[in-house]
Amino acid sequence: VAGALARTADARRDLARRMCVPSSAIADRSIDAALSAPLRIEPSFASNIVSVALLDRIELRQMLAEYAAAEASLRLAVAQQVPDIGLGPVFRWAVDQQRWSLGTGLNPLSRQRGPIAEAIARREETAARFYARQADVAANAEAALGTYQAAIAEYDRATLLLGSVETRAADIQTLFDLRDVDAVALVGSRLEVLLARRAELDALSRVHRTLGTLEDTVHRPLTFPGGLPRDVGTAPSREP
């Protein structure tokens, strides 16, 4: 019995340390108040997480502006030779692919002329860097979402296990009150509850960490109500 009590006390102190509360606050029936529910993102974010990331990442916006500047330089070089040429948008949000699309179809035949050739090279280099970064952001967003969803699933399993252990502990308490089990069984069941609660707390901590990583990836808080901050199908395009 003494050994089981010591292990229970150790588990209670460890759980209190993880929760950053005094060990006196960890009572068998008061611990639920100290545990917060996991933060679950809106379903609309989960289904459109890549679009949210691509629309809100600051560096992608900066690279779009850089591409627009390169395109403007090319248009100026071309306009000096071919005035009043009709041009389309510099970039646009492709709704069907949920990706940014660059380019205007402007491919001057006089590529060998100095200013135009240099402007084309700058535009193509900028476009290549942008598409590479866009692919990285999309992949990172999908990976972060998968890690977060796995953490949520782990927390849900830990919660189910805790419920089962608590039910068993309650049954043992009843048997102990009826003198059908000894104190070793009673203390052991309480220890199992504390260990299960600690596992649930660890899982909850992982949920919060992975949510933070996901928010860092998309550059947006994901826990406010109301779904997506904008309609991802109507993102802006840049006109010349």
Range in 45-54, 122-131, 171-180, 216-225 with the lowest mean pLDDT: 216-225
> What is the per-residue pLDDT across 47-88, written as a single tens digit (0 to 9) for each?
888 898 898 888 999 999 999 998 888 888 877 776 555 555
**Band of the pLDDT at 222, cuts 50, 70, 90?**
confident
| pTM (global) more than 0.75 | no
In which residue are the tokens 């866009």 written?
134
The residue with greater pLDDT, 26 or 68, is 68
> What is the per-residue pLDDT across 151-209, written as a single tens digit (0 to 9) for each?
999 999 999 999 999 999 999 999 999 988 898 899 899 899 989 998 998 999 899 89
Q: Is the pLDDT of residue 101 over 50?
A: yes
DSSP letter string over the chain?
A: -HHHHHHHHHHHHHHHHHHTS-GGG--TTTGGGGPPPPP---HHHHHTHHHHHHHH-HHHHHHHHHHHHHHHHHHHHHHTTSTT-----SEEEETTTTEEEE--S---S-TTSHHHHHHHHHHHHHHHHHHHHHHHHHHHHHHHHHHHHHHHHHHHHHHHHHHHHHHHHHHHHHHHHTTSS-HHHHHHHHHHHHHHHHHHHHHHHHHHHHHHHHHHHHTS---SSSS-SS-GGG---B--
